């Protein structure tokens, strides 16, 4: 038990950086997902081409290599160097934003055609149609896949240990390496527990958002959300 307290204390030192990387990465992912996803549906071909280059370029290359580019190649090319944790946020947001763009595009396209026609009949402008009619319904479809994407982003924060950012995984390595700690199984199980708890927090927030969105649209929550709601009473 004495060892457990020491391990938790050391891992907790990496928790703030993991939270910053996760929350910052999620915020940037949302912005880039909507920007690139809606750009993929743009009536202007050049906008679609630029967005497609971003989406395929980031999805088609290694996230670890992207991390090394940000930290080691970018300063050489342009003379600009990120503060380490914000460089990590940039990599996570850029990479997962490319995946999120396809979620946004697919959700918008899944809105029934009748909704577009009804908004057109009301003489709404394209921006009004998107903001008032299409996006509210599309967002409800985006939430479950975004939940998965955000959990994947959380797990990807572990790659920041490669550039010596002291997040959870790096702290666990610091426990193990100096003395070739024989408690390797217990320490890594504890590390898994940290990620599991954080994943459950993300899922709880997204399910609450899913229920709120469903209520706002006058829909019944999905079965998973309904079970979660029932379990709170």
Which residues are within 8 A (CB) of 79 and not within 5 positions of it... i.e. 6 or more apart?
Answer: none
Which residues are within 8 A (CB) of 208 and not within 5 positions of it... i.e. 6 or more apart?
Answer: none
Q: What is the DSSP string of 207-232?
A: HHHHHHHHHHTTPPPPHHHHHHHHTT
Closest CA to 36 of 83, 127, 131, 102: 102
Asked whether the beta carbons of 91 and 167 are under 8 A apart, the reply is no
Asked whether the beta carbons of 29 and 92 are under 8 A apart, the reply is yes
Number of domains in the chain: 1
- Given this model, what pLDDT does residue 151 score? 97
- Given this model, what pLDDT does residue 181 score? 64
3-state SS class at 219: coil
Query: Taking the chain (233 residues) in consecutive chunks of 10 residues, what is each chunk's mean pLDDT?
Result: 80 95 98 96 95 96 94 89 92 97 94 78 77 86 96 96 92 74 82 96 96 81 44 36
Hey, what are 200's tokens?
Answer: 């459950």
Range of the domain at 6: 2-230
- Given this model, what pLDDT does residue 118 score? 82
- Given this model, what pLDDT does residue 89 score? 97
Q: Write out pLDDT tens, residues 31-89.
A: 999 999 999 999 999 999 999 999 999 999 999 999 999 999 998 988 888 889 999 99
Domain of residue 141, CATH code: 1.10.3720.10
Instruction: Report the alpha-carbon distance of residue 207 to residue 153 in Å, rounded.
Output: 17
Hey, what are 46's tokens?
Answer: 């050049």
- Overall pTM surpassing 0.85 (yes/no): yes
- Given this model, what pLDDT does residue 225 score? 44
- Given this model, what pLDDT does residue 15 score? 96
Instruction: Report the alpha-carbon distance of residue 132 to residue 51 in Å, rounded.
Output: 24
């Amino acid at each position: 038990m004495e060892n457990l307290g020491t391990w938790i204390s050391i891992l907790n030192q990496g928790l703030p950086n993991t939270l910053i990387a996760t929350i910052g990465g999620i915020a940037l992912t949302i912005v880039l997902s909507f920007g690139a996803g809606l750009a993929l549906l743009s009536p202007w071909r050049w906008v679609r081409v630029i967005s497609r280059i971003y989406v395929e370029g980031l999805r088609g290359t290694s996230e670890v290599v992207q991390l090394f580019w940000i930290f080691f190649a970018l300063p050489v090319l342009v003379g600009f160097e990120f503060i380490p944790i914000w460089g990590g946020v940039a990599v996570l947001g850029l990479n997962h934003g490319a995946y999120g763009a396809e979620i946004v595009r697919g959700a918008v396209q899944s809105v029934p055609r009748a909704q577009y026609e009804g908004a057109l009949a009301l003489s709404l402008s394209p921006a009004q149609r998107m903001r008032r009619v299409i996006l509210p319904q599309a967002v409800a479809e985006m939430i479950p896949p975004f939940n998965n994407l955000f959990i994947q982003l959380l797990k990807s924060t572990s790659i920041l240990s490669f550039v010596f950012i002291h997040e959870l995984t790096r702290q666990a390595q610091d426990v193990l390496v100096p003395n070739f700690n024989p408690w390797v199984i217990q320490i890594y199980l504890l590390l898994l527990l940290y990620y599991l708890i954080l994943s459950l927090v993300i899922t709880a927030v997204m399910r609450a958002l899913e229920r709120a969105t469903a209520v706002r649209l006058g829909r019944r929550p999905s079965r998973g959300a309904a079970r979660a709601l029932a379990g709170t009473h």
